[in-house]
A and B are shown apart, each in its own frame.
Chain A
Amino acid sequence: MTELTGRVTDIRADYMAQVRRKRMMDGIILVIFIALMVSGFMIADDRNAGGFWDGLHRFFDFPKEVVSEAVGKLDEMPAHFITFFPSLIETINIAAASTLLGAMLAMVLSLLSTRGMAKWPRLIPLFRRIMDIMRAVPEIVIALVLIFVMGGGPVPAMIAIAFHTAGALGKLFSEVNENASLKPVEGLQSVGASWAQRMWLGVIPQVAPNYFSYALLRFEINIRASAILGFVGAGGIGYELKNAMSWGKGQYDEAAAIFLLLFAAIVAVDQLSSVVRERLTHGKTTAQAQKVSA
């Protein structure tokens, strides 16, 4: 009996020691994290042109200005919407075309880098590295270089976004491919189908819904990206926004109209794609649905 209580106290002491150790570790990590955040904030504040505390009370000045000017010229708003609608369409077109092109390239790259499906199994690491690099390149880098070579316009933005999209989607697609059944592929191989036929008829029908859902998610992201690229000279609504901003004080009604258009477009696409994705994964196992939504 005494032996037993002795063991229990031992276990309890052990457990308490373990808990203390864990708490201590958690505490140390927390302190390091807070120190990093505070010092990081101070460095950033120091290197910024205007300080945080000075700027804080000015935060609402610009939005107030824009809103008051927009309200003052409310009757001109519909006209502005009509003026800038074509450039919004251009921004959406850039996003859609680059998502399509990027997804097509990603499809090929992902098939070439999935075990069991690759045409050249030895080159799988090579294609994976290619996708890693494509994913790591920010769109703006390619866009700026291409704008220098091709001049401004939607094409540089489209190529830049498609390049990054191919890398980003390629990784997600190859994760989907790994879960696909290889039986149809083997069946097609036994009747002498070529690699392209095996992939197009054996793999793609299995993975198409998941591909589509990822591509839609990417489309949302790409609309934002194409608006930003417009700001550096690649056409679309971002370009108009930059012009409208440069008119300066008293002329912000155009900027307000563009803000509203962009906001509405992003929210609309966001809602639409979440509805479509919901329907696409409806009736499938929850694991799959979760994966897609994640």
Chain B
Amino acid sequence: MSIAANETDFLKVQADQQFSRKRLFSFGLPVVVLLYLTYIFFNFDVPGLVKRFEVDNARALVADSYSYKTHITRDNRTGDVTAAIEGERKGSYPEGTVPEWVTLGAADKVIDLGGGHEIVFGADNFVSYDVPGYGLITAQPSRASGVQASLPTSETPDWINASKNRMTITTDAGRLTITRNRTEVFRYFAGWELFFFTLDSPYSGLGFGEVMSRALGGESAAIWQDFWNNKMWRHKDVAWALFETILMAFLGTMGAAIVALPLAFLAAKNFTPFTAVRQITRRFFDFFRGVDALIWTIVLARAFGPGPLTGALAILITDTGSFGKMFSEALENVDKKQIEGIQSTGAKPLQRYRFGVIPQVTPVLLSQILYYLESNTRSATIIGAITGGGIGLMLTQAMITQKDWEEVAYYIVLIILMVMAMDWFSGWLRRKLIAGDESGR
């Protein structure tokens, strides 16, 4: 009786200890995490980030990704007025033509920004801007004496930035910049400009129905040409870049699988009795994996130059390591009985592997390969951004300009769709192939 009681006491003490240990752990762990994040907060200088945060950049990025602006520019030396979308040559209106909200008079050029905002380019470089609810702003820029602006109020509001040589007026309707050499007006519109056709194409500005009916009328080849070779959005190059990215992922993944499979036999305990060979092969796999795609990319780019092949090889080498490790683990788990059965019929070693081993490991291998195919599509985008190939390169190029944010947004959407499509495709193939294998064999 007393022994039993002692035992209960002992168990009770033990349980209490266990409880307190668990309590310590479950309260201690969040505290440790919190401490670490606090350390990171100060180590990464998050408070200083607020100062470095460039609100203007963020605003330009967001605004530009869903809207575009048309520049109306007057050169103060020659007096020529030109119109260009985003101020790019590719988006220029043909000479002498302007959007319909600009009226080219003999003396005055009237720019209607909508909502009552009206800018007039007068004779002799004179500029006036009628802002509703504020008044008429005028300026007489000249090379000798600067902008010479005059405002209706004595105080300068904060949406006007004026100095001797430069004045910028930013309103909801648009923006007017006056310098000694030129006067420039921006008007903003929602949407992606010239997505289908550039201004030099006869189909620019036509409605969808109109274009369709012309396509049916026998102009489909010309329409396709104008769309496909759109200089602004470069649909042809984008399609090639997406294809290159997927190609890198496909070649890299499949190549790695082909290289890794025979090597995996050398690293599997049940196929290679020599410890030395096994160890050497395994260290090779570790090395390929450990060096990391970044370093392989740099090394390969030196030898092969930028392009999709370099990206494919970088993926191939890194994944040979990963696949080798996983395949050899799968090979170590195969059932010996099937191999013995094949052997008993007098099969040679190669036949034993082909019919005794491969059918057993195929489903495992396939599902791993297909999983990597999807994840490598993402890696190929990243590697492309470093070495220069595929959609990753186009993305970085568009970012470097720091103004084509609508293209950046477009590429991001395409990348996400591409990865999701590959995810779906690899899942579909996995179900198809592996389910097919089970019923077939």
Contacts and interface: CB of A to CB of B under 8 A. Distances in A.
Interface stretch (A45-53, A185-193, A277-285): A45-53
Contacts of B309: 41, 44-45, 47-48, 52
Interface size bucket, A side? 35 or more
Contact of B299 (A37, A63, A100, A238): A63
Nearest to B53: A150
Instruction: Name, among B33, B303, B305, B388, the residue most crowded by chain A CB atoms within 10 Å (CB to CB).
Output: B303
A280 to B, nearest CB: 14
Contacts of A231: 294, 386
Interface size bucket, B side? 35 or more
A169 interface: no
Interface of A: 22, 33, 36-37, 40-41, 43-45, 47-52, 55-56, 58-59, 61-63, 93, 96-97, 100-101, 132-133, 135-141, 144-145, 148-151, 153-155, 158, 205, 224, 227-228, 231-232, 238, 241, 245, 259, 262-263, 266-267, 270, 293
Contact of B298 (A22, A153, A245): A245
A61 B290 contact: no
Interface in B423-441: 423, 440
B54 A150 contact: yes
Given A48-B304, A97-B37, A232-B385, A145 B408 contact: yes
Contacts of B294: 224, 227-228, 231, 238, 241, 262
A188 to B, nearest CB: 16
B286 A136 contact: no
A45 B12 CA distance: 72
Contacts of A61: 302-303
B134 interface: no
A259 B298 CA distance: 11
Instruction: Name, among B37, B378, B408, B415, the residue most crowded by chain A CB atoms within 10 Å (CB to CB).
Output: B378
Interface of B: 26, 33, 36-37, 40, 43-46, 49, 52-54, 57-58, 61, 240, 244, 247-248, 250-251, 254-255, 286, 289-295, 298-300, 302-310, 312, 329, 378, 381-382, 385-386, 388-389, 392, 395-396, 399, 402, 408, 412, 415-416, 419-420, 423, 440
Contacts of A158: 40, 44
A47 B58 contact: no
Given A22-B440, A227-B294, A228-B382, A62 B61 contact: no
A59 B399 contact: no
Instruction: Name, among A37, A40, A224, the residue most crowded by chain B CB atoms within 10 Å (CB to CB).
Output: A40
A17 to B, nearest CB: 14
